[in-house]
Amino acid sequence: MSDAAAPDLAQRDAARDRAADAAVELVKDGMTVGLGTGDTAGRFIDRLARHASERKWKLTCAATSEASVARARAGGLNVRPLGEFARFDLAVDGADEVDPNLDLVKGGGGAHTKEKIVAAAAARFVVVVDQTKLVDALGDRCPVPLEVVPDAVEFVMARLVAQGAKVVLRSAEPAKGKKKEAGAAYVTELGNRILDARFGRIEDAEALARQLDAVPGVVEHGLFLGMASLVLVGEFTSERVKKLARLARPARPAR
């Protein structure tokens, strides 16, 4: 679904900026807004903060990571703890992959458990991406991240391998200016670990999601199915933002 020619960094940044700008236009004064995590979500947060200040909006926000909380508060947004919310008027986040059904793979930033909570709680979940994130099928490029409790890592990894996946335990990123420590695992803000599982092209994402949901020790996986109501895609060859809206899926025949 993406162009064959690889865009340069400036093109990607501009496309993400346009997608973030389009998402801000969906926000109205008085809304409760869920804020995602990652590069494009961060661009949305910065623009939302600026617009809220300029337009004197009164918004109430919650964010899916400590980094996003800090970024939003630095911009002057009113950010409350996520646990105080049962519902959001709008949530905006990025994605690692978007397929033609607007199903997603998320979790490259390790925040997909909170991201899924916010997406599920939102009356409208909007995804902002550049066109490199569009794929013909989930799994084409990215692994499926799974947040796993520490004591279940080996067990879950064995289960995933038995299902045909190639699995790695995500490593911690070293602090700036420091060398990477051998064997240091990435730790989520919830105190868990991340397994990145490559299943190859996923032909039946719903069946895979059910399998992953059934594995003890898995807190949450990065398949976001049927959740996005709108995907805003920043394009490279024009200043257009493509709007992809979810279509109703045909009902499955009764068994």
pLDDT band at 250; cut points 50, 70, 90: very low
Structure confidence at residue 176 (pLDDT): 55
Q: If one looks up domain 9-136+224-245 in CATH, what number appears? A: 3.40.50.1360
Confidence band of 173 (pLDDT split at 50, 70, 90): confident
Residues 45 and 69: beta-carbon distance below 8 Å: no
Helix (H) / strand (E) element for 97: namely strand 97-98
If pLDDT is split at 50, 70 and 90, which confidence band does 1 have? Answer: very low
Q: Which long-range contacts (CB under 8 A, 24 or more apart) does 165-168 make?
A: 165/197, 165/198, 165/199, 166/197, 166/198, 167/195, 167/196, 167/197, 167/198, 168/143, 168/195, 168/196
pLDDT confidence band for 255 (50 / 70 / 90): very low
Per mean pLDDT, which range of 42-56, 120-134, 161-175, 241-255 is the poorest?
241-255
Say how far apart CA 107 and CA 110 lie, in whole Å: 5
Residues 161, 215: contact at Cβ < 8 Å?
no
Each residue's pLDDT tens digit, 26-57: 999 999 999 999 999 999 999 999 999 999 99
CATH number for the domain whose boundaries are 144-221: 3.30.70.260
**Per-residue pLDDT tens digits for 68-103:** 999 999 999 999 999 999 999 999 999 999 999 999
Indicate the average pLDDT of the chain.
Answer: 93
Q: Is there a catalytic annotation at residue 115?
A: yes
pTM (whole model) above 0.85 = yes
d(CA 226, CA 114): 17
Mean pLDDT of all residues in 233-247: 90
Q: Average pLDDT in the 138-158 region?
A: 97
Domains in the chain: boundaries: 9-136+224-245, 144-221
Please compute the mean of the pLDDT values over residues 205-212 and round it to a whole number: 98
The DSSP string of 130-169 is EGGGB-SSTTSS--EEEEE-GGGHHHHHHHHHHTT-EEEE
Digit-coded pLDDT (tens) for 106-142: 999 999 999 999 999 999 999 999 999 999 999 999 9
Q: Which of 97, 115, 220, 235 is catalytic?
A: 115
